[in-house]
Structure 1
Amino acid sequence: MADPIKEYDDMTPEQREAFDKDAKLREDAEQAALPYKWKQTLQDVSIAIPVPSGTRARDLEVVLKRKHIKVALKGQPALLEGELCKDIQVDDSTWSVQDQKEVEIQLEKQNQMTWWEHVVTTAPKINTKKIQPENSKLSELDGETRAMVEKMMFDQRQKAMGQPDSDTLRKQDLFEKFKKQHPEMDVSTKQLCK
């Protein structure tokens, strides 16, 4: 079986762009077919589920567990139910009915350093490598988390362009400084960069 990552790496930039565009269209269609809309930050997942007009909280059965979710109108099949992609902080997660026509759920992620591929494990996955966090949300992060997210974003952009990531650039920079400090040494780039 062929390695899809190697095949992708062997594509020309134009082929990658076409492949990414097709994958994004397929992903968008799969997400649009879900009975809910969802978005995420590194800290939480927001879900919006349409319900019949006039729905009140007492008409709903909402169950939020560490690794499970269920949202249903009482006595009817679930609108959303299944094993969550990752663990949540149950005590910090909330739900409410907005304008008697939509259930809004806020799931607080247990691990606030990862992107979710989907809400429930039975739903189609999204490509988390293509996620671009909103800049306005980036400013709300603490310094260490923000620096890590910015590094991840830089590395993703570099990889997409076929360029070296930040760690490789840092090693190259250190190597160049070492060569300048020690001109008497004959060092081979190929030997040191392995």
Structure 2
Amino acid sequence: MSTKSYDGMTKGERDVYDSDKRESEKKEQEGTRGKHLRVKIQKKFLTVALKGTPPVMEGDLCKEIKVEDSTWTVEDQSMLCIHLEKLNKMQWWENVLTHHPKIDTTKIQPENSKLSDLDGETRGMVEKMMFDQQQKQMRKPTSDEAKKAEALKKFQAAHPEMDFSQAKLN
């Protein structure tokens, strides 16, 4: 609203306009802000409460998380969003807090995906896991075991004077 049009209003119109503006500002200031909340995220524990009140949610997490990568935000002063970064991303959670009802994760149908859909790091990790699984089935060394054996072989070649007959790869 420009100053000119406000100046052109009658006293009654201004009163209504001012009242509407005050009501609108009051609504904008209502709601929950981060400073009103007490959110505590720990490796295996979560607490959510409005300050000065008992927790709305509190308990042991069903699995461990990476605390430093977990966050919370308040959206539109009305919704608390909590992001918990799983320690083991390859594992389905049966529930969030251990006292909550469990879901049957065997009934979850993940989307079909292709290796090419994955980012480079994830794709490499999946391919390594697939290779290692095949190696185990054939009773052959995994990629890590093969690397250790190769490193030992190089070390033996560089140090022929040493006895490696009792060496173990762990």
TM-score (norm 1): 0.45
What is the identity, as a one-letter code, of the residue corresponding to 2:87?
Answer: Q
Asked whether 1:103 is paired with 2:80, we answer: yes
Q: Could you tell me how far apart the structure 2 residues matched to 1:58 and 1:136 are?
A: 41
Greater fraction strand: 1
Pick one of 123, 133, 142 that aligns with 1:143.
123
Return the offset for 1:146: 5.1
Asked whether 1:71 is paired with 2:48, we answer: yes
What is the identity, as a one-letter code, of the residue corresponding to 1:143?
Answer: R
Paired residue for 1:112?
A: 89
Tell which has more relative contact order, 1 or 2 (C-alpha 8 A, sep 6+). Answer: 1
Paired residue for 2:63?
A: 86
Paired residue for 2:21?
A: none
Asked whether 1:125 is paired with 2:102, we answer: yes
Larger radius of gyration: 2
Q: Could you tell me how far apart the structure 2 residues matched to 1:103 and 1:87 are?
A: 21
Return the offset for 1:133: 2.7
What is the identity, as a one-letter code, of the residue corresponding to 2:50?
Answer: L
Number of residue pairs aligned between Structure 1 and Structure 2: 101
79 and 148 in structure 1: CA distance in 2 versus 1, 3 angstrom threshold: farther
- The unaligned stretches of length 5 or more in structure 2 are 1-29, 139-170
Over aligned residue pairs, what C-alpha RMSD do you find? 2.9
Return the offset for 1:110: 0.6
- Secondary structure class of the residue paired with 1:108: coil
119 and 103 in structure 1: CA distance in 2 versus 1, 3 angstrom threshold: same
TM-score (norm 2): 0.51
Q: Could you tell me how far apart the structure 2 residues matched to 1:145 and 1:131 are?
A: 23
- Secondary structure class of the residue paired with 2:62: coil
85 and 137 in structure 1: CA distance in 2 versus 1, 3 angstrom threshold: farther
Q: Could you tell me how far apart the structure 2 residues matched to 1:79 and 1:147 are?
A: 42
Deviations 1:129-170 (A, max 9, x none): 1122345798346225556999xxxxxxxxxxxxxxxx9xx9
Q: Could you tell me how far apart the structure 1 residues matched to 2:107 and 2:77 are?
A: 34
Identity %: 50
131 and 149 in structure 1: CA distance in 2 versus 1, 3 angstrom threshold: farther
